[in-house]
Chain A
Amino acid sequence: MAVIQVQRKPLTLAERFYLPPVLSGMKTTLKHLFSRKVTLEYPEQRPEIPPGYRGVPTLVKDPNGREKCVSCQLCEFVCPPKAIRILPAEIPADSAQAHVEKAPREFEINMLRCIYCGLCQEVCPEEAIWLQNIYSLAGYQRDELVFAKDKLYELGGTLPDEHYKWDKKKEAAARGNRDH
């Protein structure tokens, strides 16, 4: 049965006199007067950020210090507010990372446009872009809030890597790609 009939009891005599309910209410508020306060006093006390929080998007490096982004530009294309701009570049052949496909020469996220939707993180095949736990962002000028590549890496730091995809690819290539 979808409809639940709630019994509306007529007010008792005590309730119609208002005073007993008011007194019981005052008892409740008196308890709260002395109870622990729940306010988080923000600048001094910081909230605990739960795992999976979508904060400011950042670029990360793998534990070997390699920048994980290969500038596939999927995030740029998926970004709903078009906040990301990537300029891809070849990796020079003499570099230690030459086995990796590409690397961004420029990577900009315009934080004035970003809506923190996390689609860039979701779409990234390299797990290179992460929305981490930075929740407080402010600047004096518009330019300050267009985050360039070095700023993004500075914010992102290093995250553990489960795959070392490009190292495995390099090893496989050394074995003549027999297992692939």
Chain B
Amino acid sequence: MSDFIANLDPIVLGLLKGLAVIIVIFPIAGACSMAERKVSAWIQDRHGPNRAIPFWFAWVPVFGPFLQRLGAFHLLADGLKFLFKEEPLPGHVNKLYFTLAPVIALIPAFTTVTVVPFGAYLDEAGRIVPLALANVDVGILAVFAVASLGIYSMILAGWASNSKYPFLGGVRASAQLISYELALTLSVLPVFLWINAPGTAGTLSLARAVAFQAQPGFWGGMWFIFLMPVSALIFFIALFAETNRLPFDMIESEADLVGGFHTEYGAFKWSLFFVAEYSHMIVGSGVFILLFLGGWNPLPWVPLSLVAEKLGFAAHPVIFGAVSTVVFVAKILCCIFLFMWVRWTVPRFRYDQVMRIGWRGLLPLSLVNLVGYALAIALLQPAR
């Protein structure tokens, strides 16, 4: 099987991987939007959507009603609605860029998925081999570089809509991105300073960060969230801003900007923006988990390879890979729940507050954090 995949033409392989991303991320993003509606309902003491059910599914005894209560079929209904409803194209927009914007939103969102390792398996030599569609050594850099391109789609959408609220949304998008990208990038530097001890081969690989959190011993098995809580906090907050989640969704900001950048959008194009947003959330929380929460290792000080040895599936790469993926995805889902929980708890910041938090709060804090950890690491790590 692996030989067959390895012998495929690289273009065919690339297409297959791209298809895999689309097939996996689209439903997950849809499910996230459904989960968002359910979580918001539960937090507001409501039941949330729980009506839609195909009549033949209602015959399934317990499972059918359970899925109905969970709103699973509203997800299908929503998807179908977005596919089949009329695509409005307002007369005053720049048609080419207006149509292009949602596509451009999707491309970086899906591209980042490919470089995030989502699991691992042990090869014959007992080394951990990460599972990723494109296991590049620049890892985190690739994620940052491509993910920030996503904001162009919002700027483009705001500009191409040729009306004032989307335009303001687009302007805010660019301002917010610049403000928080700095803090986001600076906050992960201590992690890579710590990983790349002088004298060893330098790497920005996310899988390496996970392997570093799965070493034996008290310090080795410690997740980076305990080692660098400030970094983790800054990263997490900046992640909210980067993915345009409340309390930082200045770009959408429906109270003052109608709908922000997507005011003029409808139907499938509108839903593409949301698939992109959830995809960014998934990738963002995935990176957060890889860097600070031990990736696919179930608990701090309990690496997955140890669990595999105890339960005896260390020699089965398929089982190991599946378990690692399940652990990783479970962590991502918890993280996304946290995103939603925060969203339905706090109101939106004002624009000036967002700027103040970014420039006068997070940026200096991340600089101080970086310098502090740089000094500490220089003192702790003996030069080799």
Residues of A within 8 A of B (CB): 18, 22, 25-26, 28-30, 32-39, 41
Chain A proximity of B365: nearest CB distance (Å) = 10
Whether B345 pairs with A29 at a CB distance below 8 angstroms is yes
Within 8 A of A (CB), among B35-60: 39, 42-47
Known contacts A33-B43, A35-B45, then 17 further A-B pairs from the complex at CB < 8 Å, ordered by chain A residue: A18-B357, A22-B342, A22-B346, A25-B345, A25-B346, A26-B345, A28-B345, A29-B345, A32-B44, A33-B39, A33-B42, A33-B341, A34-B42, A37-B46, A37-B47, A39-B46, A41-B47
Whether B47 pairs with A39 at a CB distance below 8 angstroms is yes
Bound CA span A38–B42, Å: 10
Chain B proximity of A94: nearest CB distance (Å) = 58
Chain B proximity of A43: nearest CB distance (Å) = 10
Chain A proximity of B36: nearest CB distance (Å) = 14
User: Could you name 21 residue pairs across A and B whose Cβ atoms are closer than 8 Å?
Assistant: A22-B342, A25-B345, A26-B345, A28-B345, A29-B43, A29-B341, A29-B344, A30-B341, A32-B42, A32-B44, A33-B42, A33-B43, A33-B341, A34-B42, A35-B45, A37-B45, A38-B45, A38-B46, A39-B45, A39-B46, A41-B47
Band of interface residues on B: 10 to 19
Residue numbers in A under 8 Å from B46 (CB-CB): 37-39
Q: A18-B357, A22-B346, A25-B346 are in contact. Are A32 and B45 (CB under 8 A)?
A: yes
Chain A proximity of B179: nearest CB distance (Å) = 16
Residue numbers in A under 8 Å from B344 (CB-CB): 29
Mask: chain B, 42-85; 1 = CB below 8 Å from A; 0 = not: 11111100000000000000000000000000000000000000
Bound CA span A36–B45, Å: 7
Within 8 A of A (CB), among B18-49: 39, 42-47
Bound CA span A41–B69, Å: 12
Bound CA span A38–B357, Å: 37
Bound CA span A35–B341, Å: 15
Most buried by A among B46, B344, B345, B357: B345
Residue numbers in A under 8 Å from B342 (CB-CB): 22, 26
Bound CA span A29–B357, Å: 24
Bound CA span A65–B8, Å: 89
Q: A18-B357, A25-B345, A26-B342 are in contact. Are A32 and B47 (CB under 8 A)?
A: no
Bound CA span A132–B340, Å: 45
Residue numbers in B under 8 Å from A36 (CB-CB): 45
Bound CA span A159–B357, Å: 68
Bound CA span A76–B77, Å: 49
Within 8 A of A (CB), among B332-365: 341-342, 344-346, 357
Bound CA span A36–B44, Å: 10
Residue numbers in B under 8 Å from A29 (CB-CB): 43, 341, 344-345
Residue numbers in B under 8 Å from A41 (CB-CB): 47
Chain B proximity of A178: nearest CB distance (Å) = 67
Most buried by B among A18, A22, A34, A35: A18
Closest chain A residue to B39 by CB distance?
A33
